[in-house]
Chain A
């Protein structure tokens, strides 16, 4: 299978300045995303899923961040070595991003119109009248009723779901090739969450863009993503097509995550848990980072840092004992 990736992240390691030196937030992260593809990145707090996503557009504070190694290739160029000026043309242009909390990403003292028109004038050089017409069109695309009137309102007048629609309208204003969505539905009510996911899927089809969806919710992943990266403590621990990930998870952490999701059907009673807590970034864990919480940990897991190994078609796992068991079977 030859896939020409739209974006490829290669061996990315990102470090942040801590109280006592640099701590590694993500290590040796590699993935690619094809044109029109939906990639899901799932993990808990501290897994590095958001750090990975923010790194694509270099959105971390410059003074305290070090892109220690790796490359991020997009359209034949390395985003990590671009100048700030060149990168600004990519941000909001070919690559757009939406965040968890639309209230803190919208400017409260500007109307919706002013905020949508800005990228249109900046990236597409539209006149203000043309930009306003296009802005109303965009609000209609994200299914905001009565867009011609709503556009002159301030963000506080809109509900959380409406604000996220506005954020999406701003993001798709310049027909991006890639949309990075960092927990776009986490702050929303359950019935609104479904509406926003449906909207993202529809828009993706209409515009033909690729989407990287970052979430902690395996339910959202199952419904939205085609391919999935599972991250734990700064590393990719499994990568697979969505059906394979849920039907044949090949890492004990993925097993645990799937089992821990509260179910709406099946047997009631105790939830299956993953023992222990998520380690913080500064903790050094020799061997596999998951070994202190792993029910299947062996001596080798405590000694050697595991490699990401192929375990099936387009399926990688950072659990050598599992990979070996599969090879032997």
Chain B
């Protein structure tokens, strides 16, 4: 049985105008370039990439925080982008939420945390004072904070606790789908593990689906069902978790995996991939990774590879892996 995905994204594009000096022609920055994926109920899609890969822009388009230039986003059967459906976003708004990277900046410092958590409830309306306060206490408990701490202010909490408050707030309206944009990147290691485990527990308890955005592959490994790797605005590889880590196919995914510093002293380290992240205003022709790719050949410099399925839900955008390609493992 195949269940319909709760999130369907097709050919999603976002460009931003770039203002040059007076007299120079107007240019555009292509932040997201024809991205497509599905998210199924109860699963986590990890979205990994470095600066400028388009991962956060993609996440923001999914919840309607920024509008798409073209392409479609379908949430719970409603087209919120690229469809003719009016007011679609309002129909699904309460079912999707966003958790931000920095709990320091996403909480109002002058608002008590109980009120911050209750804000979505207040906006939605329809709850008595008592029911609202009960729900706040329930949410605090759900994220592992004392029920009584709703009267305190954000600065009285540590970074990890503030991220718990951000999560409680996201859960207030009982969403089905949460975009987590680098939720542990600004936290200390010992706090990161606590938050990842909390998100896993909540997923189990509440049947949530996540899009989990991160900049390195180690962080998403525990939480993801499937992982998509982005580079310069496009998805270069997408696979079930086990396949991606055991047999990465795209040379960029391989480089990204090799780059993670591991807590194993004396380990022989593969040399870092050379070069810089590409410009999005004037991207390389063909495959965006070709100037840094040790396997690049003529075709890579001319033709942009498409994301093609290779086997069992594993897809890769690389000319080495198209029909007849030998793959990097054989080189």
Binding site for B on A (CB under 8 A): 44-45, 159-162, 189-195, 197-198, 216-223, 242-243, 245-247, 256-258, 260-265, 268-275, 277-278, 280
Which of B159, B188, B221, B264 contacts A262, CB < 8 Å? B221
Query: B272's closest neighbor in chain A, by CB?
Result: A194
CA distance A191 to B265 in the complex (A): 19
Q: How far is the CB of B47 from chain A (nearest CB, A)?
A: 15
Contact yes or no, B216 A190, CB < 8 A: yes
Question: 7 extra interchain contacts, Cβ-Cβ under 8 A, other than A191-B255, A262-B221?
Answer: A190-B215, A198-B272, A218-B263, A263-B221, A264-B217, A270-B197, A270-B222
B19 at the interface (CB under 8 A from A): no
3 closest A-B pairs (Cβ-Cβ)?
Answer: A219-B261, A194-B272, A271-B193
Q: Which B residues are CB-close (under 8 A) to A280? A: 158
How far is A246 from B265 in the complex, measured between Cα atoms in Å? Answer: 7
Structural contact, A162 and B276, CB atoms closer than 8 A: yes
B contacts with A, residue count (CB < 8 A): 45
Known interface pairs A216-B189, A264-B218, A278-B158. Does A271 touch B197 (Cβ–Cβ under 8 Å)? yes
Determine whether the beta carbon of A222 is less than 8 Å from that of B259.
no
Q: Can you name 24 A-B pairs with beta carbons within 8 Å?
A: A44-B188, A44-B190, A190-B216, A193-B259, A219-B263, A222-B263, A223-B261, A223-B262, A223-B265, A242-B266, A246-B264, A257-B189, A258-B263, A260-B190, A260-B193, A261-B189, A262-B192, A262-B196, A264-B217, A264-B260, A264-B262, A268-B222, A270-B222, A277-B161
- In angstroms, Cα B276 to Cα A25, docked, is 38
Knowing A257-B189, A260-B189, A264-B218 are in contact, say whether A190-B159 is a contact too (CB < 8 A): no
Q: Which of A191, A268, A275 lies at the interface centre, i.e. has the most chain B CB atoms within 10 A of its CB?
A: A191
Residues on A with C-beta less than 8 A from B50 are: 189-192
A260 to B50, CA, bound (A): 22
B193 touches A193 (CB 8 A): no
**Bound form: Cα–Cα A223–B196 in Å:** 25
Tell me the smallest distance from the CB of B158 to a CB of chain A, in Å: 4
Chain B residues whose CB sits within 8 angstroms of the CB of A189 once the complex forms: 50-51, 215, 277
Chain A's interface: helix, strand, loop or mixed, by majority?
Answer: helix
Q: Given the interface contacts A159-B277, A194-B272, does A219 sit within 8 Å of B262 by beta carbon?
A: yes
A198 vs B197: C-alpha distance when bound (angstroms): 33
B14 at the A/B interface (Cβ < 8 Å)? no
**Which residue on B lies nearest to A143, using beta carbons?**
B274
What residues on B are CB-neighbors of A247 within 8 Å? Answer: 265
In the complex, which residue of chain B has the Cβ closest to the Cβ of A46? B188
**Which chain B residues lie closer than 8 Å to A220 at the CB level?**
261
Chain B minimum-CB-distance residue to A42: B189
Contacts of A271 in B (CB 8 A): 192-193, 196-197, 222
Are the CB atoms of A243 and B241 closer together than 8 Å?
no
A322 vs B194: C-alpha distance when bound (angstroms): 26
A198 to B272, CA, bound (A): 8
Q: Give Cα distance in the complex from A246 to B255, angstroms.
A: 25
Q: Complex formed: what's the CA distance from A194 to B219 in Å? A: 17
Cβ of B191 < 8 Å from any Cβ of A?
yes
Question: A195 to B259, alpha carbons, bound, how many Å?
Answer: 9
* Distance of A45 Cα from B190 Cα, bound (Å): 10
Known: A191-B255, A273-B197. A44 touches B189 (CB 8 A): yes
Q: How far is the CA of A189 from the CA of B182 in the complex (A)?
A: 14
Residues on A with C-beta less than 8 A from B245 are 264-265
Q: Is the CB of B190 within 8 A of A256?
A: yes
Minimum CB–CB distance from B324 to chain A (whole Å) comes to: 29
Interface string of B261-303 (1 = CB under 8 A from A): 1111111010111101100000000000000000000000000
In the complex, whether B200 has a CB less than 8 A from a CB of chain A is yes
